[in-house]
Amino acid sequence: MARGKFFQSVSRYFDRAAAQSAVTAGMLRQVKTCNAVYRMRFPVREDNGHITVVEAFRAEHSFHRLPTKGGIRFSRRVSLDETIALAALMSYKCAIVGVPFGGAKGGIVLDPSKLSSGFRERVTRRYTAELIRKNFIGPDIDVPAPDYGTGEREMGWIADTYKNLRMNEPHPYACVTGKPLGMQGIPGRKQATGLGVYYGIRTFMEQADDMKAVGLTPGIAGKRVIVQGLGNVGYHAAHYLQCDGKAVIAGIIEREGALYAPDGMDVESVNRHRLDTGSLEGFPGAEYIKEGHSVLEKDCDVLLPAALEEQITAENAGRIQARIVAEAANGPVGFDGEAILSQRGICTLPDLYLNAGGVTVSYFEWLKNRAGVSFDRMFSRHEELTKISLVETIESMTGRSVSPPVRRQLVHGVSEEDMVVAALEQTMIQSFHQIRERWKSRKLHDLRTAAFLLSIERIAESYEQHGIFP
């Protein structure tokens, strides 16, 4: 991918939606502009004692709401333009799902597959110290999260570094989300983005007229899905599509190659095989294809790119055979590529909506850290006692007893994870229908234009209501 191509696609998507908006030109420029960027280079000692200079970035796109919020990725592909584009998407994403954050993003130019644990930790802690030095991190300023190449381990290092360098901070663990549970993380965060992808696809596929337009019957069951990327997002999205939605996982694409099985394969078994062997190759019951990128063009109902940006471009969009492209990754479909998909009647579920489950649950974690108490602790037992009383009343009125297994299921008090999952599901369903309403009522080009328009109008409204302009 040429550097800046992704940034250009995001800008063009914005401009297309902005043309449908009544927002003034000056306000549109403010909504689009990246407010602050920190480019840094710092030395880190390698395991052999040598010093290497690491390049990294943090972009804070919009201050219409604070703190800003966005992930940190480790990748050789990280660039300034990419970081700004991802930060912009975070602003629009947060506005769509109604979480009170501005958008931000961070990136470190390193290959995560080639880092030792010790070197990775030293880089993460030094990066955190650099952010602190320039006031680019804090519970009320800018709150990072995991992204490509990072996870709860790195978020734990960030929280620990921040806590020790900001000793008077009243809520230090609220400086970052996606942390381990033992460091005030929240249950459900790990699978949140993938589960949100599932809820988004399910909600779209329940719309009979939209499914008819792409030549499919309503519902996920029996639909053939190809997944690109078996990382955290792709794995969990595929898992829920298969286990809850009863979809057929026909293809799985990874860096080293791909598997293709038109009649389907078990996601759990594939994941175990890859963890055990380090590769998809050799998995029984599926064809292994060394040139994995070609599997994007195989016949399926839903193509789910969950890896990196610019995977579907003008070069290959004409060969895509899916009826729905569900953007689990950020920016996997380029602007020119989407135009071709649209001309061919292929519907794209846009990233700024579909993968917003991660920031939604990150919001819950941030709230929990600020409050200092888990969501279920105050009323879980009260709810359980209320349910017990209700069951006993029904038993006395009917003269029939409920069996112990059924009783346990009925009176179970809500857990924190139950609450998180339910709130995530509600958010994804509600947000989709808000996007769809604009799509239909304003006769817009597609769902992406509707999603961008919704976010632009909400951010502009927030700027106006807060009266922040001098």
Distance from chain centroid for Cα 4: 22
The partner residues of 53 in beta bridges, in order of sequence, read 43
Number of structural domains in the chain: 2
Tokens of 184: 């005030």
CA distance 437 to 334: 25
* 130 in the same domain as 17: yes
How does pLDDT run across 168-189, given as a tens digit for each residue?
888 999 999 999 999 999 988 8
Q: Is 49 domain-assigned? A: yes
* 165 in the same domain as 124: yes
What secondary structure letter does DSSP report for 55?
Answer: E
Distance from chain centroid for Cα 347: 20
CATH of the domain at 69: 3.40.50.10860
* 163 in the same domain as 222: no
Mark residue 456 as left, alpha or beta (left: phi above 0; alpha: psi -120 to 50; beta: remaining). alpha
Out of 5, 69, 93, 105, pick the active-site residue. 105
* 201 in the same domain as 166: no
- What is residue 403's predicted lDDT score, i.e. its pLDDT? 83
Cis, bond preceding 172 (omega within 30 deg of 0) = no
CATH of the domain at 219: 3.40.50.720
- What is residue 35's predicted lDDT score, i.e. its pLDDT? 94
Question: Domain range spanning residue 96?
Answer: 5-183+448-466
- What is residue 382's predicted lDDT score, i.e. its pLDDT? 58
* 337 in the same domain as 200: yes
Q: Which regions in the chain score pLDDT beneath 70? A: 1-4, 375-382, 413-414, 467-470
- What is residue 468's predicted lDDT score, i.e. its pLDDT? 60
Write down which residue in 299, 323, 354 finishes a domain.
354
Q: Is 388 domain-assigned? A: no
State yes or no: is 69 an active-site residue: no
- What is residue 1's predicted lDDT score, i.e. its pLDDT? 40
pTM: 0.89
Strands (E) in 115-247, as ranges, are 142-146, 224-228
How does pLDDT run across 259-271, given as a tens digit for each residue?
999 999 999 999 9
- What is residue 30's predicted lDDT score, i.e. its pLDDT? 93
- What is residue 226's predicted lDDT score, i.e. its pLDDT? 97
